[in-house]
Structure 1
């Protein structure tokens, strides 16, 4: 059977199969006939709520262990505790603890599963404030429900967890802000990703996979290429 790549996260993961350049869709295309990419994105979820999914996503004793699990939470955890999205807020120490629990749950299934943490991307507060007013019932005078500086603390904590757990991490919050004009080139509404932003996630993830032995070139086809099939008697094909 093909190896499975499980993408676990919030709306930025849920939207990763968007026809407009989603990073999950790009990964599926990249690994066609090499791996099955399984989408497990849950819009609006934080790490606290994600903990209740673990027993069903990664049931104990399962032999069908994934080759890769990406863990992409933090954008909702970093909501302001007194803002319009306060129900999603998770204190920073708990966020780190929750990430460690998720990692531990995956590691308990198999030591061979590659786990990759992804930090929340940066936040464009001005654009997000308008989006909150238009789509989430906030008043025009209300402040942005998230602050880029605060999100940066969560991104730093995610990097620290990765170091402690000895797993790779993609620091989106830092690398995206290295590009001038990131607010509009990488973010569609101040929080979620544009096609270009999705492209950054895809490129950074492929870099990690290439380094960790899960490159497209290193993985085997699940069945022979068509030119190798015995045309007269397919059952006698050598593979």
Structure 2
């Protein structure tokens, strides 16, 4: 039976269309690892905490082997501003951290040997959020800002450190590249070296590095050789 990677997240994780994050990860690991999506459009950490114990198979279930890794990718909705049209999705920063701690604790209790990877919310292209609002926007202001997303990204990184697990600081790393905004506008092509296909013979540290590499190449479109796993 193939090992599994679970992806637990919001609308970004849910995207399984052509070129979507979920579809690309499944394609990359085809015939070696089963990628199982648990993506929920519109969800924030508050809602995620309510379902985390129900969306995964129980550790005691027959044949339910522990997954190789679980990615936790929320925060974009939590970071909606409380005085804009997306206020119903907003979660205060301190509650966001508490919820994230609780989700990690639940996953660790269920699967002690599984690699847990947190992914911060991505940066926000505020101009595009104004041009393409989800609903009518009488204020003419973005419901999310890059500054707010950065605060939640920092909280995610801090939480990973407190929990002793790995984190992808997507918000910071994407902005290292001048054309990072294109990641939201066009298909991102993957550049993955051939030798990463040797899946079964790798250690968890290599898995961590591999997932980091894949995540950044997907969202940024660069061969990021300087990615650090921590």
2:163 maps to: 165
Change in Cα spacing, 1:13 to 1:137, as seen in structure 2 (3 Å) is same
Q: Distance in 2 between matches of 1:61 and 1:187?
A: 37
Larger Rg: 1
What is the CA distance between 1:53 and its match in structure 2?
Answer: 0.9
For the 8 Å contact 1:22–1:199, the answer to whether it is kept is no
Q: Residues of 1 paired with 2:126 and 2:40: CA distance?
A: 23
Mapping 1:59-138, distance limit 5 Å: 60-63=58-61, 64=64, 65-132=66-133, 135-138=134-137
Rounded to whole Å, the distance in 1 between the matches of 2:132 and 2:203 is 37
**Distance in 1 (alpha carbons) for counterparts of 2:190 and 2:146:** 21
Alpha-carbon contact 2:12-2:21 (below 8 Å) kept: no
Asked whether the 8 Å contact 1:27–1:37 carries over to 2, the reply is: yes
Give the TM-score normalised by the residue count of structure 1. Answer: 0.76
Tell me which residue corresponds to 1:40: 38
**Which structure ranks higher in relative contact order (CA pairs < 8 Å, sequence separation ≥ 6)?**
1
What residue ranges of structure 1 are gaps of 5+ in the alignment? 189-193, 218-239
Cα distance in 1 between the residues matched to 2:43 and 2:27:
27
| Cα distance in structure 1, aligned partners of 2:17 and 2:136 | 25
Q: In structure 2, what is the equivalent of residue 187 of structure 1?
A: 184
How far 1:102 moved relative to its partner? 0.7
Structure 1 residues 58-67 or 21-30, which shifts more?
Answer: 58-67
Give the 3 Å change call, closer, same or farther, for CA 3–211 of structure 1 in structure 2: closer
Cα distance, 1:45 vs. partner? 0.4
TM-superposed CA distance for 1:113, in Å, is 0.7
Q: Deviations over 1:96-135 (max 9, x none)?
A: 1111111111111121111100001100111101211xx4
Say whether the 8 Å CA contact 2:4–2:34 is kept in structure 1: yes
Residue 10 of structure 1 corresponds to which residue in structure 2? 10
1:33, distance to aligned residue in structure 2 (A): 2.1
Change (3 A) 1:125 1:3: same
State the alpha-carbon separation in 2 of the partners of residues 138 and 83 from structure 1.
9
- How many residues align? The count is 199
Q: Give the TM-score taking structure 2 as reference length.
A: 0.79
Quick check: 1:23–1:199 contact (8 Å CA) kept in 2? no
Shift of residue 136, structure 1, vs aligned partner: 1.1
1:43 partner SS: coil
